A and B are shown apart, each in its own frame.
Chain A
Amino acid sequence: MSVYALSFFKAPSGIVSSIESILNCFFLGGNDNHKKITWVDWNTVCLKKEVGGLGVRRIREFNNALLDKWCWRLLTDKNSLWYMVLTARYGEEGGWVLDDGRAASAWWRVIAALRRESWFSNHVCRVVGDGKQTYFWSDVWVGGVSFKDRFTRLFELAVDKWVSVFDLCQLGGG
């Protein structure tokens, strides 16, 4: 399967359904002129083997899962060239590459939308060591919500909005 293409581009839904219909046709054994009985529906075929399916991959979900890897690398791979290109083009605030709305490339729009999906952010969390790489206000590092969102007013009033946990701790007398 075209894993390489799917790991970089989001397949249009029309393409996803035609790929799935080709797979389904192969499984059912018929063709355009000669339809056969659908003995097992496609949803069941796509279930994992452990729960009684054949373990065929769902293209859309597989595509998203491959693209989610970029969201993960956005967090963990900040020294890489591609990350620097992104920040140079779109700007960065508090470790967060900006979305830049409609002017953004199609690829970046897809990734920027995926990283905002709640299921993704619910499954990443920050483990603070020395606090040098963690933004006090914008990172989620205590209590599951960023301080920026929990204490909106205080964030507005803070002079240094992108102070690191480490620096703030130093100022506080450590």
Chain B
Amino acid sequence: MSIGWGVNGEAWKWRRRLFAWEEEKVGELCLLLQFVNLQVNKEDTWIWNLEKLNTFSVRSAYNFQTSQHSVDTPVDVKKLWLKDVPLKVVVFAWRLFRNRLPTKDNLVRRGVLYNGSCLCVTGCGDLETVNYHGWWLNPLASLAYG
């Protein structure tokens, strides 16, 4: 079905005769309508365009409203959040990746320990930090924490 809306068409009922500039506006309006095609037997619907299924979801609304908060370093969720691993272990690993564990260098930085005492607790002679030396290769540390 096409819409035949001319400037002087019967569709428009105005409260008074239009001035010339107002008729121009009607022309503008008709221009916008020229590609409109109504479909018989199809209801008008609303679409929520943050969801694939086009219906509103609280999750999509929440995600949108919190997406402005700074996006941090991406994490491979599947590798960190494993189902079989106890939650406290996961959280520990999460803090490890973020360097948010009370290692000596972190404690010194926060003024808990004084500067001279940041050597590794295992006595390997290196600084105790969350680097891969301290955590993955130092057997004593992995015994103590693992």
Show the binding face of A for B, using Cβ within 8 Å: 37, 39-40, 43-44, 46-54, 57-58, 61-62, 64-66, 68-69, 72, 75-76, 119, 123-134, 142-143, 147, 151, 153-154, 157-160, 165-166, 168-169, 171-174
Closest beta carbon of chain B to A95's beta carbon, Å: 10
Distance in angstroms between the alpha carbons of A134 and B2 in the assembled complex: 17
B44 x A123 contact (CB < 8 A): no
Which DSSP category, helix, strand, loop or mixed, fits chain B's interface?
loop
Residues of A within 8 A of B74 (CB): 50-52
A68 x B42 contact (CB < 8 A): no
B44 x A157 contact (CB < 8 A): no
Distance in angstroms between the alpha carbons of A125 and B56 in the assembled complex: 12
B64 x A124 contact (CB < 8 A): no
B45 x A127 contact (CB < 8 A): yes
Closest beta carbon of chain A to B114's beta carbon, Å: 16
Binds A, one of B47-55, B119-127, B132-140: B47-55
Total interface residues on B, using CB and 8 Å?
66
From B6, B10, B44, B102, contact of A126 by CB (8 A): B44
Of residues 33 through 83 on chain B, the ones whose CB sits less than 8 Å from some CB of chain A are 33, 36, 38-50, 55-56, 58-59, 61-66, 69-75, 77, 80-81
**Chain B, Cβ-Cβ closest to A173:** B4
Residues of A within 8 A of B10 (CB): 171-173
Show the binding face of B for A, using Cβ within 8 Å: 1-6, 9-16, 18, 22, 25-26, 28-29, 32-33, 36, 38-50, 55-56, 58-59, 61-66, 69-75, 77, 80-81, 91, 94-95, 97-98, 100-102, 110, 112
Q: A172-B4, A172-B5 are in contact. Are A51 and B25 (CB under 8 A)?
A: no
Closest beta carbon of chain A to B86's beta carbon, Å: 15
B44 x A128 contact (CB < 8 A): yes
**Chain A, Cβ-Cβ closest to B40:** A130
Q: A37-B110, A158-B13 are in contact. Are A131 and B72 (CB under 8 A)?
A: no
**Chain A, Cβ-Cβ closest to B74:** A51
**Chain B, Cβ-Cβ closest to A40:** B100
B16 x A157 contact (CB < 8 A): yes
Closest beta carbon of chain B to A128's beta carbon, Å: 5
B58 x A69 contact (CB < 8 A): yes
